[in-house]
Amino acid sequence: MNQSILHIKDLRVSFNQHKDKMNAVTDVSLQIDKGQTVALIGESGSGKSITSLSVLKLLPSNGKIEKGTITFNGKDLIQQSETNMRKIRGNEISMIFQDAIASLNPNMKVGVQITEGLKYHKLVPKSDLKQEALQLLEQVGFKNPSHVYSQYPSQLSGGMKQRILIAMAISCKPQLIIADEPTTSLDVTIQRQVLDLIDQYKTDRDASVLLITHDFGVVAEYADWVYVMLGGHIVESADVFTIFKNPVHPYTKALIGSIPNPENGQERLKSIKDYTFENVGYEGRRFAPETYSYESKAFNAPSSLFEVEPLHYVRFFNEREVISLG
């Protein structure tokens, strides 16, 4: 029986900018089961990172969770105090950021950095920290852990730094790892190593992964369930096979069509412009405003998710029609 580990419901996050309020995330609902990898895919500005930061309550100071619930293991994280959140961060939910260089302290030996979480959450006695660090380094594929232990981040390559971050993220054996574009700046061979490591941890410990990415190739390889984000909304969600076989929302189609895929030898890539955004099947319901634009105000128009086949949801933008469907 699948057990839900994280359940985000109707999350709305707004930002204050120059006295204007804008919604970065609007009515996002998302569920991750135990042992699952869930991918959140979208382009820059779609709200995918803000969604993940909300889970750990790490929003920038001008961001605010307006409404919604984030249930993790039965607790609503939004109601938790900062003290409680500190107990959860790194311990039960950990995060791997995109920019490995910016996430590491340049003045601290990497071996010591890895165990900061363990030290903070008092999970192992101090005397065992080094031993634990060496084990973690070995686990993420360093052949010479004791050498790497005493190196500084500047002495490591990008891929090695990203592996250090993974070692840090798994040190407290969290139940959920949030990986925000973990491989964007890495070469393909390293990308594969890094994603395989995360996948391996997930399998070994029956943990869950929220994988934030813009790469449908990565989604196809690693995800079980996919949520597509556009302009702060989830516009489509389904299991990974359905998303690729039967994408319904034109934006999902456009994203999948715009990946160069050596396998199907396409002569020309599709781009967003090649897809129309209105009146696409499903009884004349509209998907999105006529003109496609991230900032489009019309995204605030009433909209609703519609189950086009079992467990496959697509967002339409006309409330009345959806209601009349009953």
Q: Which residues sit at the interface with other proteins, rule CB under 8 A?
A: 43-44, 158, 187-193, 196, 214-221, 223, 240-241, 244, 254-263, 266, 268-273
For residues 221 and 321, which CB has a smaller minimum distance to other proteins in the complex?
221
Query: Residue 290: what residue type?
Result: E
Token digits of residue 250: 């034109």
Residue 77 near residue 34 (C-beta atoms within 8 A):
no
Which CB sits closer to other proteins, 61 or 264?
264
Q: How far is the CB of 64 from other proteins (least distance, A)?
A: 27
* Shortest reach from residue 258's CB to other proteins, in Å: 4
User: Dihedral (C-alpha) 203, 204, 207, 208: value to the nearest 10 degrees?
Assistant: -20
User: Which of 246, 224, 236, 234 minimizes the C-alpha distance to 307?
Assistant: 236
Alpha-carbon distances of 31 from 53, 69, 74, 238, 288, rounded to whole Å = 16, 12, 13, 11, 24
CB of 223 to other proteins, least distance (A): 8
Longest dimension (CA), the chain: 67
CB of 105 to other proteins, least distance (A): 23
Min dist CB 141 to other proteins, Å, is: 8
Three-state DSSP state, 293 = coil
Which three-class secondary structure state does DSSP give residue 140? coil
Nearest-approach distance from CB 270 to other proteins, in angstroms: 7
Among residues 117 and 145, whose Cβ is nearest to other proteins? 145
Nearer to other proteins, 81 or 189 (CB): 189
Pull the structure tokens for residue 311: 């467990």
Shortest Å, Cβ 241 to other proteins: 5
For other proteins, give the closer residue by CB, 272 or 322: 272
Q: How far is the CB of 160 from other proteins (least distance, A)?
A: 13
In the sheet where 4-17 sits, what is the strand order?
Answer: 20-33, 4-17, 63-72, 75-76
Minimum distance of other proteins from residue 117's CB (angstroms): 27
What are φ and ψ of residue 159, in 5° steps? Answer: -65, -40
Task: Find the DSSP H helices in 140-276.
Answer: 145-149, 158-170, 188-205, 216-222, 240-245, 250-257
* Number of Cβ within a 10 Å radius of residue 134: 18
> What is the residue type of 199?
D
DSSP conformation letters of 87-127: HHBTTTEEEE-S-HHHHS-TTS-HHHHHTHHHHHTT-S-GG
Token pair listed for 299: 């995204």
Toward other proteins, which CB reaches closer, 170 or 240? Answer: 240
Q: Which residue has the tokens 């933008």?
A: 317
Q: Nearer Cβ to other proteins, position 91 or 193?
A: 193
